[in-house]
Amino acid sequence: MQAVSLRVQRLRTGWVTCGAPRHCKRAAHGLVLSRKLASAAQVPPGQLGDASDSTLVGHRNRISQLSAEIETYVAKVVSLECQAAQESLIQQVGSAASRVLDGCVVNPFGSAITGLWVPGSDLDLCVIVPGANDRHLQTRALRKIAGELRRAGASHHVLPRIGAQMPIVRWSPRREGGIACDISVNNALAVANSRLLAQYIQVDSRVRPLGLCIKFWASQRNINDRSQGTLSSFALTLMLIHFLQRRTPPILPSLQDLAVTRGYPPLFIQGADCRYCSRPSDVTAAMKQLKENGVANSESLDSLLQEFFLYFAHEYQRGTLAIRSRASFVQRLDEADCYLVVDNPFEPGKDVANVEVRHYTRLHEEFRRAWSILSSSGSFASACEPAAPPGQGDPLSGAARPFGFGGAKVMCSQDRSTHQSADM
C-alpha cells in the first residue's frame, strides 16, 4: 500500500491530478506483484528456493511469450506494398489538386507519417492552398478537388463531407482491400500535431511498437472510434507519451517544454504556438538529463505494455492528461473531476479525446481487463480478443461490475412485475 501511496503522491506533482485509488487493495497487490516479478526476473535460477524458482520460470515464460507476440505483430504491420500504395495515392491527389488549384501542396498527416499506420487505416491528406483562409474558400477548393478526382478515374468513390466540423472529401476505394483517403484543405494544425508525434516516436525505439500494440488492442475491443464517443488513435498516442514521460527514470522528455527552455522562437500556425524541439543535439542532451544516477530507462516492451494498462486501470483516476507543462495555462473548471481528458499539445485546454460520459465505465473496465490478462497469462492475443458487437451477448453475465457500482440488487423481469403489482 505504501508503494501505491508514494506513487500516487508523485503523480500529483506532475501533469495530472490523481484522486485516491478506488480499488486500493487490488491496485496495491497488482503493483507490488508486478514490481517483485520484474525484480525477480534479474535473479539467476538456483539462487532462490524451489517454489520461487518455479514462479520465476513461469513469469519468464509469460514475458518471453508476450515479447514474441509484440515483435511478431509489429514486424507484419506495414508491408512495402502498403507504403507504395500510399505514395501512389498521394501522387494522384497531388496531381488532381494541382490541375485545379495554383500553388497547392499535398501533405500527409496522421498515422501515415507517425509510423502508426496499420492495414485498414485511412490515409489523411491536407492540401495547403494559398489564400484559402476561411471555411467558404476551403470548401470551394474541396469541391474543385472532388470534381477533378471524379474525372480522373473510377477506382474510388468521391464523397464530399462539407458539413463536417472539418470539411473533407472522402476518397474511398470501390474494391475491398484498398486504402481510403480523407482530404482536407489548410488543416495545418493537424499536420503540426502529427509531426510532433512523429518526433516523439523517433526519440525512443520503444514508442512505435507500443503505440501499434495499443492501437490494435483498442480497435479489437471496439474503443477506438472518436465518432462513437470512444478514444481516437491520436488520443491514445498522447496517452502513451504522457505515460512514458512519467516512468522512473522518464523515457521521453517534453519536446515543447524543451523548445521553450532552449529559447526556440515561437512558431505560430493558425494562432497556436507550434514550436517543439527537433534538433538532435538538444534532444540527446535532454535524454542525458533524464537519466537517474547516470542510468537510462531500460524497461522492456512487454513490461512497459503491462505498466501502461496498470497505470490507466488502477493508478490514474482523474485529471487532465498532458505531454507539456501546463503551469502557464488556465486550468479547466472541472480539473479535479474530469476523466480521460487528453490535452491538445498546441491548444492547451482543448480536449482531443472528447470521450462520452456513457463510455467511462466501459473504458476503465477495458484497461482493467487488459492489465489482468497480461499480468496473469501474458498473452497479447487474449487481451486483444475481439469484443462482442454492441447489442450482442448477455450484459448481466460475468463477474465484472461497472466502475463505482455499489452492489444494489438488480431486479429481474419477474421481480419487477411483482413489484409493480404490489404498487398497483
Grid coordinates belonging to 270: 493558425
Burial (CB < 10 A; 0-12, 13-18, 19+), residue 189, is: buried
Q: What is the pLDDT of residue 221?
A: 96
Q: What is the pLDDT of residue 60?
A: 54
Grid coordinates belonging to 288: 542525458
* pLDDT lower than 50: segments of the chain: 1-52, 54-58, 395-424
Tell me if residue 320 falls in helix, strand or coil: strand
Residue whose C-alpha cell is 481516437: 232
Q: What is the pLDDT of residue 344?
A: 95
C-alpha separations of 257 from 154, 185, 214, 263, 326 in Å: 48, 29, 26, 10, 10
Tell me if residue 184 falls in helix, strand or coil: strand
Grid coordinates belonging to 171: 476518397
Q: Which residues, 6 or more positions from 346, have their beta carbon under 8 angstroms from its beta carbon?
A: 189, 192, 193, 196, 269, 272, 273, 274
Grid coordinates belonging to 347: 491548444
Longest dimension (CA), the chain: 78
DSSP string, 221-268: TT---GGGTS--HHHHHHHHHHHHHTSSS-SS--HHHHHHHTTPPP-E
Question: Which residue, 3, 412, 380, 401, is CA-closest to 213?
Answer: 380
Neighbours of 349 (CB within 10 A): 13
The sign of the dihedral angle between the CA atoms of 258, 324, 265, 346 is positive
Q: What is the DSSP letter of 60?
A: H
Question: Which residue, 125, 136, 119, 214, is CA-closest to 171?
Answer: 125
Q: What is the pLDDT of residue 53?
A: 52
From CA 184, how far away is CA 297, in angstroms rounded? 40
Grid coordinates belonging to 57: 520460470
Radius of gyration in angstroms for the set of CA atoms belonging to the chain, rounded to a whole number: 24
Residue whose C-alpha cell is 531500460: 298
Burial (CB < 10 A; 0-12, 13-18, 19+), residue 39, is: exposed
Helices (H) and strands (E) in the chain, counts: 15, 9
Q: Which residues, 6 or more positions from 267, have their beta carbon under 8 angstroms from its beta carbon?
A: 273, 274, 275
DSSP string, 185-225: ES-HHHHHHHHHHHHHHHH-TTHHHHHHHHHHHHHHTT---
Burial (CB < 10 A; 0-12, 13-18, 19+), residue 108, is: buried
DSSP string, 32-51: HHHHHHHHHTTSPTTSS-HH
Q: Are 251 and 244 in contact, with CB atoms under 8 Å apart?
A: yes
